[in-house]
């Protein structure tokens, strides 16, 4: 067997099944072996049916009277039957699992496990898992549960793995280190565990394998990046001091430190690959401005890439007013920009020093004269290819320096692994005078009593003088909704749309200007609304999460997030970060439907304003797979949650060092080297 053979070499998998597997991303034998169980069911120590008690039960028996029918009102089918042993019988019920009707043979004995409970006046076991007694190891009672893919259910995967039992012995090793066992043993244990310990040991090994790949990819990236050349940007102390002195505020110490790290880095003729992490409102834009100015002083061009037109426009406004007085030519390039060809000519000729834009910057016909620094704001919003495209715009074989910025703090353990090849600067200090945003969870029904009065107060509050608007008469409010149109389902109940909410608020605050904003509006419309909000012409902005990243309106001091339970922790923190950017006290209300207890996420948010702390909490609550997902758009998908295991990370790091000592390894471990290619693309400059 070769690991890269098609799955059709498995007993019971024909062309049709192979097609379904392929859709699920399972193409080769390797993919197949790594289709790990989602969980395990235990059928150990079954109870006699006459002795079962409410709660989770395991029973063993034959099933009869199996029927499937459609429920009267709802889109629901019900399959039920009676399971019997020598002591009695009990009803079992499944919902929308029609295949159950075909799963059982009347003469055969099965295990069932599920909750025994009173439902619609009858005691039954609801949606039990089931397995053929002869398929289960009698001592451990353990059996894997696989994620269903299309027509293929968990028991189909069990059948395939049973058919492929003999092939495990042919799995070659991936890594040189083989403690506590070989890969073939560890994968076998994952699919056919004899004990809970087996599951844990194999999980550890597979997590280790993944970490090894990630760390190796990061280290090789760094090696390769160090071979690239870039323009050295010298430090111009006098000009930089002049610029800093012109600012209306003093830089924070963290901003100074980060800027210094960047300057030192760019002085080298190896390209910088640096991530600037700073909580929302920590002043990353200012650091970017300094890096840009320094680069432009040395004669190079700078591109700043932002994920949305709103954000790009805002960066353009603030950076051009900061830098134009110092002779920097600035331009904005977004989808809505008119006269693109003329602008692109000016970029190509080098007439423009600083180009700020969205994806529109990435098109092939945008050429630079001498791009020396690329800045990517909210880097997690960009895919790998987009980042690479930007890097490819370098002139004459010289790679531009790269500064990525993110407000989604990356937990340390992640940094050590995937991002191990990046240099990191951290803004761990907010500008002086900032107060934490006071955060409260509120049920929808409490809005009239507890939220509206607060809103009235805010709208009557003296404007925050930091705001640039001239038309301000009070402070401003963001109101975040889940849906653009009515009828879109929230996770629990129907979510109120931006339009409906706008109308409702107009009734409550008839003398206020209330407008809405959402992603489906034309860019020009969006910009116009945002502009008016920034100028203080709009009192309440009802919006979807398009305002999530970066938007900076210091006079907005109250944030309301409706359907708060439907957002992730990082996203909620980002949204909340839109307020508390000025000198005034700011508030955030998390509105829940009240049907369920507020989740841990919301309670943590109520307690803390610290993005780094919240990121760690998020890692614990969700598991790193999902964090990666949100950071990297699924470019990385980790099979095993392992990034909170610092001991394992340390061990993998040491082993990777050893591995790299011997250049022959790079040739010898072909599968490993092929596997890490996908990780390498994540942060490479090449
Ligand atoms: P973020 O890190 O979230 O991108 P911004 O760069 O948008 O934050 O900065 C947030 C606000 O803080 C802006 O209004 C900016 O002008 C202001 N700001 C930045 N640095 C300082 C400072 N050192 N002192 C006071 N205000 C600052
Ligand atoms: Mg920002």
Question: What's the pLDDT tens digit per position in 423-481?
Answer: 889 898 888 878 889 999 999 889 999 999 999 999 998 888 654 545 678 999 999 99
Tell me, using a 6 A CB cutoff, whether residue 249 lines ligand 1: yes
| Percent of all residues in the chain with a pLDDT value above 70, rounded to a whole number | 86
Residue 72's φ and ψ, nearest 5 degrees, are -65, -55
**Which structural domain range is residue 74 located in?**
44-135
Q: Longest C-alpha distance within the chain, in Å?
A: 92
Tell me, using a 6 A CB cutoff, whether residue 552 lines ligand 1: yes
Is there a single domain that holds both residue 460 and residue 345? no
How far apart, in whole angstroms, are the C-alpha atoms of residue 176 and residue 188? 19
Ligand 1, residue 250: give the atom nearest the CA: 23
How far apart, in whole angstroms, are the C-alpha atoms of residue 167 and residue 10? 9
Q: Nearest-CA neighbor of 423 among 432, 435, 431, 415? A: 415
Q: What is the pLDDT of residues 196-241, one digit of tens each?
A: 898 889 988 888 888 888 888 888 878 877 888 888 999 999 999 9
Identify the residue whose C-alpha is closest to ligand 1 atom 26. 431
Identify the residue whose C-alpha is closest to ligand 1 atom 10. 281
Tell me, using a 6 A CB cutoff, whether residue 326 lines ligand 1: no
Tell me, using a 6 A CB cutoff, whether residue 154 lines ligand 1: no
User: Is residue 359 over pLDDT 90?
Assistant: no
- The total number of structural domains in the chain stands at 3
Is there a single domain that holds both residue 361 and residue 449? no
Is there a single domain that holds both residue 395 and residue 252? yes
Identify the residue whose C-alpha is closest to ligand 1 atom 19. 283
CA atoms within 13 Å, Cβ hemisphere of 368: 30
The domain boundary, picked from 90, 111, 135, lies at 135
Is there a single domain that holds both residue 566 and residue 477? yes
Is there a single domain that holds both residue 490 and residue 530? yes
Tell me, using a 6 A CB cutoff, whether residue 582 lines ligand 1: no
How far apart, in whole angstroms, are the C-alpha atoms of residue 403 and residue 412? 19
Is there a single domain that holds both residue 562 and residue 494? yes
The per-residue pLDDT for 491 is 43
In contact, 10 and 160? CB cutoff 8 Å = yes
How far apart, in whole angstroms, are the C-alpha atoms of residue 374 and residue 369? 13
Give this prediction's pTM. Answer: 0.70
C-alpha 378 to ligand 1 mean position (Å): 15
Domain-located, residue 655: no
Tell me, using a 6 A CB cutoff, whether residue 431 lines ligand 1: yes
The domain boundary, picked from 592, 608, 624, lies at 608
Ligand 1, residue 282: give the atom nearest the CA: 2
How far apart, in whole angstroms, are the C-alpha atoms of residue 59 and residue 130? 10
Identify the residue whose C-alpha is closest to ligand 1 atom 15. 283
Domain-located, residue 555: yes
Q: Nearest-CA neighbor of 414 among 577, 629, 667? A: 629
Q: Nearest-CA neighbor of 602 among 464, 379, 444, 440? A: 440
Tell me, using a 6 A CB cutoff, whether residue 611 lines ligand 1: no
Residue 187's φ and ψ, nearest 5 degrees, are -70, -40
Domain-located, residue 309: yes
Q: What is the pLDDT of residues 460-474, one digit of tens each?
A: 988 886 545 456 789
Q: What is the mean pLDDT of the chain?
A: 85
Helix (H, G, I), strand (E, B) or coil at 390: helix
The per-residue pLDDT for 628 is 40
How far apart, in whole angstroms, are the C-alpha atoms of residue 569 and residue 572? 5
C-alpha 672 to ligand 2 mean position (Å): 38
Name residues whose C-beta falls within 8 Å of residue 30's C-beta, 6 or more positions apart in sequence. Answer: 3, 4, 671
Is there a single domain that holds both residue 453 and residue 380? no
The enclosing domain of 550 has a CATH number of 3.40.50.300
In contact, 515 and 538? CB cutoff 8 Å = yes
How far CA 179 is from CA of 3, 168, 172, 668, in Å, comes to 22, 18, 15, 19
Domain-located, residue 38: no
The per-residue pLDDT for 184 is 92
Is there a single domain that holds both residue 446 and residue 593? yes
Tell me, using a 6 A CB cutoff, whether residue 377 lines ligand 1: no
The enclosing domain of 51 has a CATH number of 2.40.50.140
Instruction: Name the token pair of 605.
Output: 């948010």
The shares of helix, strand and coil residues in the chain, as percent rounded to the nearest 5, are 40, 20, 40
Is there a single domain that holds both residue 347 and residue 467? no
Identify the residue whose C-alpha is closest to ligand 1 atom 24. 431
Domain-located, residue 638: no
Q: What number of other Cβ atoms are within 10 A of residue 580's Cβ?
A: 25
C-alpha 31 to ligand 1 mean position (Å): 47
C-alpha 286 to ligand 1 mean position (Å): 7
Which pLDDT band, with edges at 50, 70 and 90, does 678 fall under? low
Identify the residue whose C-alpha is closest to ligand 1 atom 5. 283
Pair type for strands 476-480 and 438-443? unpaired
User: Is residue 395 over pLDDT 50?
Assistant: yes
Query: Nearest ligand to the C-alpha of residue 574?
Result: 1
Pair type for strands 354-357 and 330-333? parallel
Name residues whose C-beta falls within 8 Å of residue 486's C-beta, 6 or more positions apart in sequence. Answer: 494, 497, 499, 500
In the predicted model, what is the mean pLDDT of residues 641-657?
77
Instruction: Name the token pair of 137.
Output: 């190891």
Which pLDDT band, with edges at 50, 70 and 90, does 504 fall under? very high
Is there a single domain that holds both residue 347 and residue 247? yes
Is there a single domain that holds both residue 392 and residue 452? no
Domain-located, residue 430: no
Tell me, using a 6 A CB cutoff, whether residue 501 lines ligand 1: no
Instruction: Name the token pair of 432.
Output: 């002086």
Domain-located, residue 275: no
The per-residue pLDDT for 256 is 96
The domain boundary, picked from 576, 608, 640, lies at 608
Tell me, using a 6 A CB cutoff, whether residue 285 lines ligand 1: yes
Is there a single domain that holds both residue 382 and residue 503? no
Q: What is the pLDDT of residues 233-257, one digit of tens each?
A: 999 999 999 999 999 999 999 999 9
Domain-located, residue 416: no
In contact, 63 and 81? CB cutoff 8 Å = yes
Residue from 281, 311, 427, 551 to probe ligand 1 pocket by mutation (most atoms less than 8 Å from CB): 281
């Amino acid at each position: 067997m070769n690991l890269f053979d098609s799955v059709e070499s498995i007993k019971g998998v024909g062309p049709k099944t192979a097609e379904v597997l392929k859709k699920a991303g399972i193409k080769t034998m390797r993919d197949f072996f790594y289709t790990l169980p989602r969980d395990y069911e235990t059928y150990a120590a079954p109870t006699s049916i006459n002795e079962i008690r409410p709660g989770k039960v395991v029973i063993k028996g034959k099933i009869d009277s199996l029927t499937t029918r459609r429920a009267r009102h709802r889109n629901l089918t019900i399959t039920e039957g009676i399971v019997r042993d020598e002591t009695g019988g009990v009803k079992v019920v499944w919902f929308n699992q029609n295949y159950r009707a075909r799963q059982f043979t009347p003469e055969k004995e099965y295990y069932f496990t599920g909750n025994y409970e009173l439902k619609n006046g009858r005691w039954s076991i609801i949606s039990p898992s089931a397995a053929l007694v002869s398929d289960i190891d009698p001592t451990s009672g353990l059996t894997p549960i696989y994620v269903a893919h299309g027509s293929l259910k968990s028991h189909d995967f069990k059948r395939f793995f049973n058919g492929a039992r003999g092939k495990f012995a042919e799995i070659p090793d991936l890594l040189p280190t083989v403690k506590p066992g070989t890969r073939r043993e560890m994968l076998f244990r994952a699919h056919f565990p004899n004990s809970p310990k087996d599951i844990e040991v194999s999980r550890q090994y597979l997590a280790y394998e993944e970490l090894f790949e990630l760390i190796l990819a990061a280290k090789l990236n760094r090696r390769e990046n160090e071979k690239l050349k870039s323009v050295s940007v010298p430090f111009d102390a006098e000009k930089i001091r002049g610029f800093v002195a012109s600012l209306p505020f003093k830089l924070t110490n963290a901003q100074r430190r980060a800027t210094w790290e960047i300057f030192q880095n760019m002085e080298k003729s190896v390209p910088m690959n640096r991530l600037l992490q700073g909580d929302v409102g920590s002043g990353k834009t200012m650091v970017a401005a300094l890096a840009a100015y320094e680069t432009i002083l040395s004669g190079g061009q700078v591109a700043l890439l932002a994920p949305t037109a709103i954000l790009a426009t805002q960066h353009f406004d603030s950076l051009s007013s900061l830098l134009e007085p110092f002779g920097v030519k600035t331009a904005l390039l977004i989808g809505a920009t008119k006269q693109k060809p003329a602008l692109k000519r000016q970029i190509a000729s080098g007439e423009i020093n600083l180009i700020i834009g969205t994806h529109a910057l990435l098109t092939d016909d945008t050429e630079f004269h001498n791009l020396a620094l690329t800045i990517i704001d909210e880097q997690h919003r960009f895919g790998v290819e987009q980042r690479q495209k930007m890097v490819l715009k370098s002139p004459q074989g010289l790679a531009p320096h790269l500064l990525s910025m993110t407000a989604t703090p990356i937990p340390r353990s992640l940094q050590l692994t995937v991002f191990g090849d990046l240099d990191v600067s951290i803004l761990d200090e907010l500008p002086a005078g900032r107060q934490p945003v006071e955060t409260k969870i509120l049920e929808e029904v409490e809005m009239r009593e507890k939220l509206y009065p607060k809103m009235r107060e805010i709208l009557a509050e003296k404007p925050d003088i930091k705001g640039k608007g001239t038309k301000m008469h009070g402070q401003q409010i963001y109101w975040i909704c889940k849906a653009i149109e009515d009828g879109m389902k929230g996770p629990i109940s129907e979510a109120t749309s931006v339009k409906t909410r706008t109308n409702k608020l107009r009734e409550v605050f008839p003398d206020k200007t209330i407008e809405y904003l959402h992603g489906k509006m034309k860019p020009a419309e969006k910009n116009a609304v945002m502009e008016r909000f920034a100028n203080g012409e709009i009192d309440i902005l009802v919006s979807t999460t398009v305002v999530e990243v970066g938007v900076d309106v210091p006079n907005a001091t109250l944030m309301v997030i409706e359907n708060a339970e439907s957002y992730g922790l990082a996203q909620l923190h980002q949204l909340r970060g839109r307020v508390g950017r000025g000198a005034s006290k700011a508030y955030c209300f998390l509105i829940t439907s009240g049907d369920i207890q507020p989740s841990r996420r919301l309670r943590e948010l109520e307690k803390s304003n610290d993005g780094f702390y919240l990121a760690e909490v998020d890692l614990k609550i969700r598991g790193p797979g999902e964090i990666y997902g949100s950071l990297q758009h699924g470019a990385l998908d980790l099979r095993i949650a392992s990034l909170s295991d610092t001991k394992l990370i340390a061990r993998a790091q040491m082993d990777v060092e050893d591995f790299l000592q011997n250049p022959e390894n790079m040739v010898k471990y072909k599968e490993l080297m092929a596997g890490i290619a996908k990780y390498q693309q994540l942060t490479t400059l090449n």
